[in-house]
Structure formats: structure tokens, C-alpha cells
Amino acid sequence: MAVLIELKDVTKEFNGNVVLRGIDLTIEENEFVTLLGPSGCGKTTTLRIIGGFVDPSQGEVLFAGKNILNTPAHQRPTNTVFQRYALFPHLDVFENVAFGLRVKNDSISTLSRIRQIQDQYQETLKLKKDASEIRALKKQMRMEIQVLRDPNHDRKKQIVELKKTLHETSDLANKEQLKSQINSIKSEFITKKTKELEITEKVQKYLKMVGLEGYEKRQVHKLSGGQQQRVAIARALINEPMVLLLDEPLAALDLKLRQEMQYELKEIQKNSGITFIFVTHDQEEALTMSDKIVVMNHGEILQVGTPVDIYNEPANRFVANFIGESNIIDGIMKDDFLVHFDDKDYVCVDKGFARNQKVDVVIRPEDIDIVPFGTGHISGKVISIAFKGVHYEIDVKTKDRIFTIHTTDAQKMHAEVDLSFGPEDLHVMEQW
Ligand SMILES: Nc1ncnc2c1ncn2[C@@H]1O[C@H](COP(=O)(O)OP(=O)(O)OP(=O)(O)O)[C@@H](O)[C@H]1O
Ligand SMILES: [Mg+2]
């Protein structure tokens, strides 16, 4: 996959307050990237810097290798879905989604597009020396601009030519043929009507994609929160941006709808081939949806990786805690593949630490088995049992600490039990 966006050493200060500290991040084409971290860690600020709504105090933002810090938000290949959906209350669902296309077609954006074309040609022209080459390029530029100003430009020219031939010829059969040719070109003219047809087709395509087929005429204020959110997503998708920026778009939804939308968003992303940069502080959401998770805290990136990497090999205590409930234990790395905690040595799969280095040992609650007393590694007593729907969350108090265990097997309160785990269940990390 090709690199699409790069943030290089991006720092942001608000009134002397540093909120982003040297962010380095690479985002690839067609990736679903999630920025994950607690409130205030700088997720929204990072997203707004990519979208062009906030300038970094320092650092670079590259799109396909080109610095875009001087490109205004509306000219970047991005579209944003904000947490508060900001739909137009006086427009129906259809017009809310069509809005982006109508704006695109208006004269202001044509002008800015023309300016863009001129700038691009100027850059190329500067490098050319050959006079005929320069002439050819200029002609090409004029043609491109003319087509933008008048989408029927080429067709009109063709008709003028054909009419000229028509006047010059006296052969009747030939005349008829020319006339029908002219009529056929005329029928291809792009008019308001054909434009409208195009818009309708596209709106319907994207409403279908977000599961809102048949909702065209509905008033947006009469839709549920989830439906409004889908309208907002369709409205952003219809512009077919290269990158969609989503800032906690599901935060206002209840759990069930949220999970449904998580699945749907992932599907939309896969089917549309658009790169999604998604912000959330919900680790479960991040784990379910992402190709790549970027864990942030206090304006810094702590770890970047796939959901499996982040979950199984958290870089430090903060990530381990944030990404899911964990048992985190102070330990000592006695040697490669040998870690010591709670008065015992355990074989593990980690290596490369200094001898007797202090480490954090993470054991996930679902990786611990409760076994009959005397048959496991550590003995303890069941002190709490909570049913969580699919599994039980059981606390076992040992001599040194309380372990949390997730299991589908029921246990008796106050039972004397042993805990058991394998070498691969111990995740050893440097102390932070
Ligand atoms: N325009 C601003 N002026 C001053 N400080 C700001 C501004 N925008 C953000 N901040 C501060 O920058 C820090 C990061 O804010 P940001 O909105 O990026 O956090 P976040 O990770 O999106 O948090 P949340 O999960 O609560 O949305 C916060 O301390 C916030 O108060
Ligand atoms: Mg935010």
C-alpha cells in the first residue's frame, strides 16, 4: 500500500500550552486508522490539523509526499464528519446529501478550480524552454479551462464544423446524414436536466450505502440520532474524498446502534476504498474497526499497531490498561525467557532485557484459568463474582494481590482455588 498522509514532528501549542508533542504518523491508502486515547490527549487537534482547520505550531503535513500546510481545508482531499452532525434542518434527507454536489457545481468552485489549473500549468511552464512546447502546453491549458467554463464547449465546436460542411455540400443523402449527426451531438448536451439526473443517481447510491434507501423526502429533524448520523456520513462520502475524517461520529448513539454502525462503517470503508481516520476514546470500538490503531496520551503517540499487536503486545502499562482490563504486576526479568514475580519464577516468551531489570508483567483476565486448589501456579480465594453477559468477571485474592479473571465457568464465592497460565500469556514490558 502506498503512503498517503505523513505527519512529521507535528507540535501544537495553544496560548503556550503544548497539546501535541512531536507527532510522527504515516497513514496508507485505503487504511482504517483510529486515533485512540483519553479525553484531552489531542485526538481532535490531530484530526483538525490533517483536515486543515488548525495549523500546527511546528512540523510538516504531507499528502502523497507534498507539503499541504498552505492548502486550505476546502481544497484538501479530505471530508469531515463531526461529532455533532450539523445537518441542514430546513432541507430534507435528499437535499442534505446532494448539498456537496450542488456546491461543487457552482461558479465559485469553478473559479477556484480554474485558478488551480492555471497554477499547475504555470509550475510546469516555468521548467520548459522550448517555444513550441510552451505554446502547446498553453493551448492545452486554455482547452481545459474552456471545458470547465462550459462543459459543452467541445460539442459546440463540433457542431459549428458540421454545419459548415452542411452548407458546403449539395449531396442530399450526405446532408441528411450530417443533420442527424448534429442532432445526436445536441442530445448529448449537458443541461440542468442531465446534471440533476446525475445528482439523483449519486444521492441514491450513497443513501443505499448507509442503509437509508427510501428516506429521501424525510425531514432530518424527524430522524433518529443514528439515521441523522448516517445522513451526515452519506453527505461526506458523496464528495468521494480520498480521506474521510470522523471525529467520534458514534458517540451519541446507544450501545446496540453503535455496534451496528461500527460494522456498517467498516463495510463502507472496505467497499468505497476511501481512507478513514477515525477518532474515539472507546477501546472496544477501536479494536473492532481499525486496520491500525494509534494510541495517544498527553499529546504523544505511545504505540501504533494492528488491533492484535496493541492488545497482545502493549508497549507499556498505560496502553495495557487503556486497551482492556489487565492484571499488571511488578516483576524482575531474571534472564531471557525467565521472569520473577510474587515470589516465583515463570517461563515466558520475552527476551532482550537486562539481567534483573525491573519490568511490568501484564496478564489479560481471559488468559488466566481457574483450576482446582493445589494444581496451578498461585493459590487464592474467590472474593467477587459478577456476571457480564457472556462471561463471569471473578476476583481472586492471593497472598500478594487481587487477580481479575474472565471465564465462562461459574465459581463459588469464597472457594479456595488456584490460578494457571502459560508462558505465552505473560506479556513483559519495560517499566514506564
Ligand atoms: N482552540 C483551542 N484553544 C485552546 N486550547 C485548545 C483548543 N483546542 C483544543 N485545546 C486543548 O488541547 C487539548 C487537546 O484537545 P483535543 O480536543 O485535541 O482533545 P481530544 O483528545 O479530542 O479530547 P476529547 O476526547 O475530549 O474530545 C485539550 O487540553 C484542549 O483543552
Ligand atoms: Mg475530541
In b/e form, how buried is each residue of 317-344, taking b as 16+ CB within 10 angstroms?
bbbbebbbebbbbebbbeeeebbbbbee
Kindly state whether residue 161 falls inside one of the protein's structural domains: no
pLDDT of residue 123: 87
Owning domain of residue 51: 1-77+241-324
Ligand nearest to the CA of 82: 2
Structural domain ending residue among the three candidates 324, 347, 365? 324
Q: Distance, CA 43 to ligand 2 centroid (Å)?
A: 6
Is residue 73 one of the residues assigned to a domain?
yes
Q: How far is the CA of 232 from the centre of ligand 2 (A)?
A: 18
Q: Is pLDDT of 337 > 90?
A: yes
Whether 399 maps to a domain, the answer reads yes
CATH number for the domain harbouring residue 268: 3.40.50.300
pLDDT value at position 75?
85
Tell me the C-alpha distance between 244 and 265, whole Å.
11
- Is residue 98 within 8 A of residue 207, CB to CB? The reply is no
Residues near ligand 1 (Cβ within 6 A): 14, 19, 37, 39-45, 281
Q: Which ligand is nearest to the CA of 39?
A: 1
Q: What is the largest CA-CA distance in the chain?
A: 110
Average pLDDT, the chain: 90
Residue 194 is assigned to a structural domain of this protein: no
pLDDT of amino acid 170 = 87
Q: Are residues 258 and 299 in the same domain?
A: yes
Question: Separation of 255 CA from ligand 1 center, angstroms?
Answer: 25
pLDDT band, very low/low/confident/very high, at 145 (cuts 50, 70, 90): confident
Residue 262 zone, left/alpha/beta (φ > 0; ψ -120 to 50; rest) = alpha
418 and 339, same structural domain? yes
User: Which is more confidently placed, 89 or 138?
Assistant: 138
Q: Note the pLDDT of residue 290.
A: 95
The answer to whether residues 245 and 313 belong to one domain is yes
Ligand nearest to the CA of 40: 1
What grid cell was written down for 127?
Answer: 521548467
Specify whether 307 is located in the same domain as 348: no
The per-residue pLDDT for 286 is 93
Give me the number of domains the chain comprises: 2
* Å from CA of 148 to ligand 2 middle: 39
Shared-domain flag, residues 73 and 29: yes
Q: What are phi and psi of 411, to 5 degrees?
A: -130, 165
From 12, 23, 35, 45, mutation site for ligand 1 pocket: most ligand atoms within 8 A of C-beta: 45
pLDDT computed for residue 388 by the predictor: 85
Distances in whole angstroms, Cα of residue 85 to Cα of each of 77, 229, 234: 20, 6, 11
Instruction: Tell me the per-residue pLDDT of 388-424, one tens digit each, with 9 for 90 and over.
Output: 888 999 999 999 999 999 999 999 999 999 999 999 9
Q: Give residue-wise pLDDT tens across range 273-294.
A: 899 999 999 998 999 999 999 9
Predicted local distance difference test score (pLDDT) of residue 83: 64
In a domain, 4, yes or no: yes
Which residue did the predictor score with more confidence, 295 or 111? 295
* Atom 18 of ligand 1: nearest residue by CA position: 42
User: What pLDDT score was predicted for residue 80?
Assistant: 85
Q: Does residue 255 sit within a domain?
A: yes
